[in-house]
Amino acid sequence: MIYEDPRAYLLGLEGMALLRAFAGEFGRDFVEARIAEIRRLLADETLANAAVDVDRVDTVAGYRLWSATYDQPNSAFDLDEPVVTGIVDALPVGVALDAACGTGRYAELLAERGHRVIGVDGSPEMLARARTRVPPGQFLLGDLHRLPVADAEVDLVVCGLALTHVPVLEPVLAEFARVLRPGGHLVIADMHPERVAQGAIPPVRGADGRPGRLTSYCHPLGHYLRAALAAGLQVRRCEEPPVPVTERPGRTGALAPWDLWPWALADLVPEAARAVSEGAPALVIWHFQRQ
């Protein structure tokens, strides 16, 4: 069970902003405004009574619930697709595995470029949508730890926004290396660990309406690197697309519903939120090659 108190998130943002000020990025007026805002937040009775108990939801159940709306506009898609597309476009056409393919977002991109596509996912509901989206693809039910793919069968593996749900990276990267042919390529896009630590974890509602979040883990960049090197994968590229810069107008009135947390909460403290997010990485995108 996760205990989500909006004050914890808001005070966390204020604290991060104050640390940046302490390091010299902001001056006296900014610091005094943050401290005054903290006092206001602590005195707000609406916030004091708004905490929510949230279930931890495993990925199979979570993506079953999310499958119907997964392809709705998602800012993460806008950030990862240009970089992933640029990497893939520079590679030879061959057999491509979309690992944790979901509804076939990457599979569609690969098929359009002439690859013979294999998609693997643990959610039957996601796979059903992927088959409709990419009819020529071969879509298989499976787990990232035991891919239903033969040794050295593919030239390219792509994996998008999935490894944050894996507790340990080493066995999964070793499995990716197993199915790659020598010289094959692996492209991974994931939520940046800084964003995961700030609550960028997908929300879902159970059949009974209870709030839940997909079980997620914060993997520092060094974890990806060490797991890849141990699997015989060499780094070719690493990108950290930043959080899009947007003006937060501030929010007044009723507290936003839980389904919009934590981003709607940030609108309660727009200056602190902007100070924390400006220039910060949103995703990490890796390009590895099997030796």
pLDDT tens-place values along the chain, 291 residues long: 899 999 999 999 999 999 999 999 999 999 999 999 999 999 999 999 999 999 998 887 777 776 666 767 677 888 999 999 999 999 999 999 999 999 999 999 999 999 999 999 999 999 999 999 999 999 999 999 999 999 999 999 999 999 999 999 999 999 999 999 999 999 999 999 999 999 988 888 887 889 999 999 999 999 999 999 999 999 999 999 998 876 656 666 679 999 999 989 999 999 999 999 988 999 999 999 998
What is the Cα–Cα distance from 196 to 193, expressed in whole angstroms?
5
Query: How many degrees, rounded to 5, is the angle at CA 175 between CA 135 and CA 222?
Result: 115
The β-bridge partners of 201 are none
State both tokens at 193.
């660990």
